[in-house]
Amino acid sequence: MNLLEVENLVKHFPVAKGWFGRGKQTVYAVNGVSFSVAKGETLGVVGESGSGKSTMGRSVLRLIEPTSGRVRLEGVDVTSLNGENLRKARKHMQMIFQDPYASLNPRLTIGNILEEPLKYHGVEKKNDRREQAERLLREVGLDDSYYDRFPFQFSGGQRQRVGIARALALNPKLIIADEPVSALDVSIQAQVLNLFVKLQETRNLTYVFISHDLSVVKHLCNRIAVMYLGEIVEMAECEELFRHPLHPYTQALIRAIPVVDPAQRRQRLILTGDIPSQTSPPAGCPFHTRCPQCMDICKKEHPALLTQSGHQTSCHLYGKH
């Protein structure tokens, strides 16, 4: 059964243009993204910076308002909820952010940070909140004596553990983790990724795991969606995507992953140029300005996202033309 269903999600931001902000232009951050995530599944979302993956994650949770589209959690249309109903739905969907230091209030102790959401959602007694906060600290591998400390007294990895504990405080069903390990040292990354795996097993959590790094999501995710300029350009089971990537952008991302074993080294494919501006996406295929296999049709016609044996790709190399 699907826990999360996202249908044709769009997020466009109007922004001021020019020195005096007189003109207006639009940032086309997310352009009609659809996917579903089954209960207990981990969906990885990868792409370069500027691909719209973080905006997509925030729009799903309504931390920013989507321009259009539908988000359903266990069949409930979250996009149509307001006030108390939205507050209740938010209990079930939490976000973990990239920068744990910026996402924790430096003036509050770790205990207060963990108790805040409990208080907001009706845990009245201070003793009950403290007990739950200490239990959360132990669950993420921190000593409950850390309760009275402040965020600056923690290392990056410990702060991210606090961020995870805070996200767990309300017993969510869905966690959207936005680059949760990219600010950490490589040795700490592995520990935090292991914690994600352990928590998923013990709590039957469902994850949407956003990362710019395919090698990070490879060992954690059941399926992977590749985003480029606000669109999903390829989505498949994790193993299938690595074994048989179809879209030239996915192929380039996979071939850019460093390989230590010389026997397994593949020819690197370096993409030239940057991802185009989100304010003026190119006509036709959004990837055509960087694609080594670009054809005439790619500059004029947007390729449809087609599915074959559960593997989705939007590329004219595989469609009818």
Which residues of the shown chain bind ligand SF4 in the complex (CB under 6 A)?
A: 247-248, 285, 287-288, 291, 293-295, 298, 303, 315-317
Question: Least Å distance between CB 186 and ligand SF4?
Answer: 32
Closest C-alpha to 227, from 86, 75, 46: 46
What is d(CA 216, CA 213) in angstroms, rounded to the nearest whole number? 6
How many Å from the N-terminal Cα to the C-terminal Cα in the chain? 35
For ligand SF4, the closer of residues 223 and 316 by Cβ is: 316
Find the shortest distance in angstroms from Cβ 272 to ligand SF4.
13
Q: Which is nearer to ligand SF4, 114 or 214 (CB)?
A: 214
User: Least CB distance from residue 298 to ligand SF4, whole Å?
Assistant: 3
Amino acid at 146: Y
Residue 164 or 229: the one with the smaller Cβ distance to ligand SF4 is: 229
Q: Which is nearer to ligand SF4, 162 or 246 (CB)?
A: 246
Environment class of residue 280 by beta-carbon count within 10 Å: exposed (0-12), middle (13-18) or buried (19+)?
exposed
For residue 226 the two structure tokens come to: 């590749």
Cα separation values, 257 from 218, 270, 320, Å: 11, 11, 31
Nearer residue to ligand SF4 within complex by CB, 151 or 248: 248
Q: Is the C-alpha dihedral spanning 257, 258, 261, 262 positive or negative?
A: positive
Beta strands 223-228 and 231-237 are antiparallel
DSSP-derived letter for residue 301 is S
